[in-house]
A and B are shown apart, each in its own frame.
Chain A
Amino acid sequence: MVFSSAVFLFGFLPALLALYFIAKDKYKNYILLAFSLLFYGFGGPKLLAMMIVVVMLDYLAAMFIDKTDSKKKRKWLLILTIALNIGTLFYFKYTGFTVEIINRLIGLSIPVPKIVLPIGISFYTFQAMSYVIDVYRKEVKAEKNPFFVLLYVSMFPQLVAGPIVRYKTVADEIKERKITLQSFTDGIERFIFGLCKKLIIANNTGKLADVIFGTETLETPLAWLGAIAYTLQIYFDFSAYSDMAIGLGKIFGFNFEENFNYPYISKSVTEFWRRWHISLSTWFRDYVYIPLGGNRKGVKRQILNLFIVWALTGIWHGAAVNFLLWGLYYFVFLILEKFVLKKWLDKMPKFVGHIYTLIVVLFGWVLFRSEGMTEVLRVVKAMFIPYITNITWQQLTIYLSSYGAYLIMGIILSIPVFPWIRNVIMAKYKENIFVQIIYYGFVLGMFVIAIAFLSQATYNPFIYFRF
């Protein structure tokens, strides 16, 4: 089930809200859990059973780790749990890829198994693992109630596409949380804005990218336009989902951490990764980079650690060579910035840093989007080797006439102009009741428009679901 669907908006959500707010406090978590499992069950009840089994094994492992004082036992239990989680993830996500690689390298022809990838497996595996690791590190106590652990992992707002929530972030809120009128209102508002971002901007820029990259011949101006459209699509698609997840969390009294902070205004690639998919970057930092030694064991080891982290980041996004290369592409730029470019960028005017970052990110997305290196080379070649025909400008006019407004909207909303305007107006007219009425009326109006886009849209896939 996706948030931007009629079944979620007009079936799942009102039913959950009604039951949740009617129920006594002690039943609220169980209602939320039941609905979260139902939400996930839409992807296939068998996969739901598998998720429950994996999480219950993590729950038991955490309990044992917490109870035993033996360092050796704790360590072995942790290793076993990580192996279980990584093994599950590997089986579902990387078996086919691994067989393909082996076939290619050794020249074998082992049949490539077709395994259905459970929705959100990369997200919930990481959450479940982080819970056990945090218990092992004694950063949190193991939760005795298995339903609460299951609720933490399966909570529907963040289950299938993040943000990757740490147990310690929500542990207290699972047991006791307070829903205020302010948080409830903010939650709805955030959810509506996320819905609009997805349905209005991401879907339309996505259509443009698909149309352009789907053409047999790719002319230079169109290749650039397609790359820009995809750059906007992936940001608005993914950040919209995070907005909706954070908003829904607030509605039910949870405060998830931010996952995006206007990444396209970054002045360096390093800064970009502090603003993009923050929960994934911090996960890899805390559970891979720092345990490997981080920057504490000399420059060579630090470079190796970064290499491992970015290779893992790449293949976390997908079992394909282009994702691995995408991760390593960022590794190269991060190393370059750390040791060479940073000093140079610091001396340059700010706009140089912005342009440099946007170009690096844009090519990163070309790599990310392409299925196979042939496609990468096709697009990059089209971008750099001038190729214009008699109908190029006609096509460009058509595309800009069709999607220009959404591109402009996307570019404007990629910079924090809306929060700035909102804050200025709200600060200036805090006491002005009419301004508030107009503002909330505008938000509801946007909701109606989002429903209108939903009613028409058949093109509605969330990109990040495959991860």
Chain B
Amino acid sequence: MKEKIIRITFCSLFILIISVMGILTIINDDKVSKREGRKLAQFPEVTIKGLLGTDYYTNLTNAFSDQMAFRNQFITIYYLANLQRYTGDVVKADNDELFLAPQSFSNKEKTLENIAKVTTNHINKVAKEVTGAGSKFMFISIPRKDVMMEKYLPSSYIAGTDMYIKSINTIKENADQNVVVLDAYELLKGKVDRPFYKTDHHMNIRGAYVVFENIIGYVNDTSKSNIKIGKLEEEYEIKKQIVNGAFNRKIGQSVKADAEELNLRYIGGNVTYTRYEDGKISDIPVFGDKNTYASAYMGDDMAETVIDTNNDDAPNILFVGSSYTNILEALSVHKFNKMVSIDYRHNNTGKSIADYVKEYDIDYTVYICSQSTGAFNIGSMKEHLGVKD
């Protein structure tokens, strides 16, 4: 009898779980997943045409997956139950410092070299167009976090430093004279202990500021400008905020995110500016205005940002790249006349970098490239440079 009760309870619980999950899933209509930073699939409308096609069933399947009740909680359980050390391509080191899983790039040095040569050819081509249009061209190389923060890695993790160095050296050797290469690895090594955010792949303010100082140094060396730049604390007041980085989101936020330096307030004087996003005036704040703090991340990856400070004595600067440009854009606002930033992943204007140089009378074009695997990814680089073929 007792065995029967246990069996009935077991069966009932199973049916209860799938039924309750089913009902809650169907009534769920979440539009976005903040945790994943993406839109969620919605339940499709029932129509005769839809039912006779195949899309309806695909959409229904996707909606059930995306709208699944307690999905976030189950994802957390997954990360607790998962036995992988390198979960979701993310590695957890001491103090919950997160890194991307180790690189397993092709061991053929020749392949690495060939990729670097191809990427350099693209850089050279764009640099030629840009310099032809009257701007100087800088290529800034950002290594992966494991390369920059080797000492924080778990013992079994071997950083991809060798691959990065081989790759960047090939680029340096093959870059044309009109390409100024700034290697963030060289700039930051030994200077900044933790140049990246704890749970993210982006450089933090400390890391970015060193790179920025070098950009200003180059600008001062190559123009009549004499941009004054002090130490970080002399220029900005810094406020901390919880940074729940991309790595943490990848692993179901299973690491407790810390408050890190993210928001800045410019103390070097009040700078008035007009900000344009995709040609329209934008009210997204840039730190500094009216003593406000703003995120060093400029709001997000924008297709085209123009910030005009009406400081005609200062040069104009153009940033090209991805989210890695954000923090440098923010720092540049107070030192340049115009700061233009383009992200070709979202920019569909059809304008080339050289077109922007001409349109905004750009003096300095800065292309920021992050290392993806052992090499700089050719496809990604072409996309970020707006190169079609």
Contact = CB atoms under 8 A, between A and B. Distances in A.
Nearest to A216: B106
Given A17-B15, A389-B107, 13 more contacts: A6-B61, A10-B25, A185-B7, A215-B104, A398-B101, A398-B102, A440-B7, A452-B74, A453-B82, A454-B74, A455-B71, A455-B74, A456-B88
Interface of A: 1, 5-7, 9-11, 13-15, 17-18, 41-45, 181-182, 184-185, 188, 192, 204, 211, 215-217, 219, 389-392, 394-395, 397-398, 401-403, 405-406, 409, 433, 436-437, 440, 443-444, 447-449, 451-456
Contact of B6 (A5, A216, A433): A433
A451 B65 CA distance: 11
B107 A390 contact: yes
B64 A405 contact: no
Contact of B54 (A9, A44, A444): A44
B377 to A, nearest CB: 14
Contacts of B82: 453, 456
B64 to A, nearest CB: 4
Contacts of B86: 398, 401-402
B281 interface: no
Contacts of A215: 104, 106
B61 A455 contact: no
A47 to B, nearest CB: 9
Nearest to A451: B74
B6 A45 contact: no
A125 B377 CA distance: 47
A398 B103 CA distance: 9
A452 B2 contact: no
Contacts of B75: 452, 455-456
Interface stretch (B16-24, B212-220, B230-238): B16-24
A11 B106 contact: no
B158 interface: yes
Contact of A45 (B19, B51, B78): B51
Interface of B: 2-4, 6-11, 13-15, 17-19, 21-22, 25-26, 51-54, 57, 60-61, 64-65, 68-69, 71, 74-75, 77-79, 81-86, 88, 101-102, 104, 106-108, 111, 156, 158, 252
A217 B106 contact: yes
Contacts of B14: 188, 192, 444, 447
Nearest to B106: A216
A169 to B, nearest CB: 25
A444 B10 CA distance: 8
A188 B68 CA distance: 21
Nearest to B25: A10
A42 B51 CA distance: 9
B107 to A, nearest CB: 4
A454 B64 CA distance: 12
A185 B51 contact: no
A405 to B, nearest CB: 3
B61 A5 contact: yes
Contacts of A204: 84
11 contacts: A5-B61, A6-B68, A14-B15, A391-B104, A391-B158, A398-B102, A398-B104, A406-B83, A409-B83, A433-B6, A453-B81
Dominant SS among interface residues on chain B: helix
A185 B11 CA distance: 6
Contacts of A443: 10
A222 to B, nearest CB: 9
Contact of B21 (A9, A182, A440): A9
A225 to B, nearest CB: 13
Contact of B25 (A6, A185, A452): A6
Contact of B158 (A217, A394, A405): A394
A444 B156 contact: no
Interface centre among A192, A204, A401, A447 (most CB of B within 10 A): A401
Nearest to A456: B78
Contacts of A10: 18, 21-22, 25, 64, 68-69
Nearest to B65: A6
Contacts of A397: 156
Given A14-B18, A181-B4, A456-B75, A402 B104 contact: no
A204 B19 CA distance: 28
A390 B83 CA distance: 27
Interface centre among A10, A18, A401 (most CB of B within 10 A): A10
B61 A437 contact: no
A449 B81 contact: yes
Given A215-B104, A398-B102, A443-B10, A41 B83 contact: no
A427 to B, nearest CB: 14
A391 B107 contact: yes
Contacts of A1: 57, 61
A448 B84 CA distance: 18
A447 B8 contact: no
A249 to B, nearest CB: 16
Contacts of B53: 45
B106 A455 contact: no
A9 B86 CA distance: 29
Contact of A11 (B64, B71, B81): B64
B19 A14 contact: yes
Contacts of B74: 451-452, 454-456
B83 to A, nearest CB: 3
B11 A188 contact: yes
